[in-house]
Amino acid sequence: MSLTIRQLTEIPFLRTRLHAGAGGADRVIAWAHSCELASPWEWLEKGDLLMTVGLGIPADVVGQVTYVESLAAVQVSGLVIGADMHAPPLSEEMLAAADRRALPILFTAFEVPFIQIGRTVAAASKGPEHLRLVKTVRIYDSVRAAAVRSSSPAELLCSLGDEIGCDLHVCTNDRAIGIFGGADPLRQDTREAFLAETAKRDAHMPGILRLGVGNRTALVVPVPTRRPASLIAEPRGSDVAPYAILQQVSTVAALEFERLIAAREELRRLGGETLAGLLDARISPHSAGALLRTHGLGDDPMVVLIAAPAGDRTVALHQVLGELGVPHMLLRRDEILYCLTPAQPQSVREVSDAITPAARIGVSDPFVDLSLLQGAVREARWALEVAGTESDRISRYGEQLGSGAPRSIAEARVIVDRVLGALITYDRERGTDLVESLAAFLRCNRSWQTAADELFIHKQTLVYRMRRVEEITGRKLSQTVAIAELWIAISALSLVD
């Protein structure tokens, strides 16, 4: 039989006396735990006996009342304080709160070590601990059975939930996205409460967090994985699964999550190799069809999305997109990120949102035939250049310049030939750099000195070159229409180079 608070005080060698909260003297002690944190209730569960030398007990009246109320809220069996140690004087208000909430406050003699109380409680709790051990064995037996049946992680999670009487969810801490596809989604009110707590805690989660959601209480236990995640358990009835059992489920979830992370990483590597092979023409569009379908691509219209600077978040981005269920292929080269993803607005939006806010993004026109991939990459690059000149960091091909933008590679060639053809021929025959000088001049918003510095030439040299541009193209740089035509042609040139 487990001990009660009253029985604990009747054991002579423990020298522990009841000081307040006598109404809870018949509370059963499930376990004894020593903790000096300022918020011990985040590490305890129903029936635990808190033992402290008093370091975490507040000195002020309001803090002491809150301390008692918080312990009572998680239904600990009582509070044991080491006498003549580090506890501040206990206020009358704190003792009154203990009496009101029937939370026993006890004092243990200075000479009695807390481990003695712990051993006594443990010896009396062998029966309940045996039942807990049986429950743990059954959890891992469910894992074994799931492996034999090749069950999905979502099915395993549902089976474990049936075993412990809880609806279980494993979610990322930053977005509260369900990690295992196919599992029941987290209720919206629970999700909002969870995100509010994780935002306040700056990634430092307690051993057990209780989420008050309406008239329900959900329990949150950290999942020990590389990507911060949590197990959220919503009891189906009045009985709450013990913390030790939830820790076992959390460990199982961590193993499944790590397997999923490894599988996704392998998929990212294969996707990057396939995309690189297509871009470098080492893989034919025909042979790449089956590879794309492995990534959920190829049957519907796609777009190429290019982001710069790419940073070093490619692996993390791949994991986030996997959690969101967005089909994709990623390739990072230098500071450029290439992404092949479905053309649906939601897919493009989710990819864009997952990329670091510092990156500029260019998006191509939709296409289906993989033979058009090279052209789509040029379109995305062109859009990326436009995004660099606009306040909006995301630009779709042809969107910023309206009807003036080329809608295809063939149309881009026509614009380049018509506007810049003579200038390109002049540069090729004479070894000059008039096209590049014009591009720098327009890129620098027609600032003579800025453009000259970029080109490492004298300002007067740039003036002379722009006069030659005017003569050869027949367009005056003082005219708005001419400037617009030249800028569109320079931008289109990047598509046909």
Instruction: Specify the pLDDT at position 183.
Output: 61
Token reading at 107: 């004092």
Considering the domain 409-496 in this protein, what is its CATH number? 1.10.10.2840
270 pLDDT higher than 90: yes
Instruction: Specify the pLDDT at position 454.
Output: 92
25 pLDDT higher than 90: yes
Q: How confident is the model at residue 391 (pLDDT cuts 50, 70, 90)?
A: low
**pLDDT, tens digit, for every residue of 71-101?**
999 999 999 999 999 999 999 999 999 999 9
Q: Is 315 exposed, middle or buried (0-12, 13-18, 19+ CB in 10 A)?
A: middle
SS3 395: strand
On average, the pLDDT of the chain sits at 86
**pLDDT, tens digit, for every residue of 106-152?**
999 999 999 999 988 887 766 555 555 555 666 767 777 766 677 78
Residue type, 492: A
How does DSSP classify residue 487? H
Cβ distance 328 to 340 under 8 Å? yes
Alpha helices per DSSP H over 202-324: 243-279, 285-294, 314-324
pTM (two decimals): 0.60
Q: Give residue for tokens 């001419």.
A: 482
Q: How far apart are CA 447 and CA 442, in angstroms?
A: 8
Q: What is the mean pLDDT of residues 418-424?
A: 91
Residue type, 278: L
Instruction: Specify the pLDDT at position 136.
Output: 62
**Residue ranges covered by each domain of the chain:** 5-124, 131-259, 284-400, 409-496
66: region left, alpha or beta (phi > 0 left; psi from -120 to 50 alpha): alpha
Task: Quote the CATH superfamily of domain 131-259.
Answer: GAF domain (3.30.450.40)
Token reading at 386: 């436009």
The half-sphere exposure of 381 on its side-chain side, counting CA atoms within 13 A, is 16
| H-run or E-run covering 80 | strand 78-82
Domain 284-400 has CATH 3.30.70.270: yes
Q: Cα 378 to the chain's mean position, in Å?
A: 31
Q: What is the mean pLDDT of residues 152-176?
A: 86
Considering the domain 5-124 in this protein, what is its CATH number? 3.40.1390.20
Phi, psi of 316 (to 5 degrees): -65, -40
Q: How confident is the model at residue 323 (pLDDT cuts 50, 70, 90)?
A: confident
Angle formed at CA 98 by CA 217 and CA 31, multiple of 5 degrees: 60
Token reading at 290: 């089956």
**pLDDT, tens digit, for every residue of 191-226?**
888 998 888 887 678 888 888 888 888 889 998 888
Q: Give residue for tokens 């096209």.
A: 435
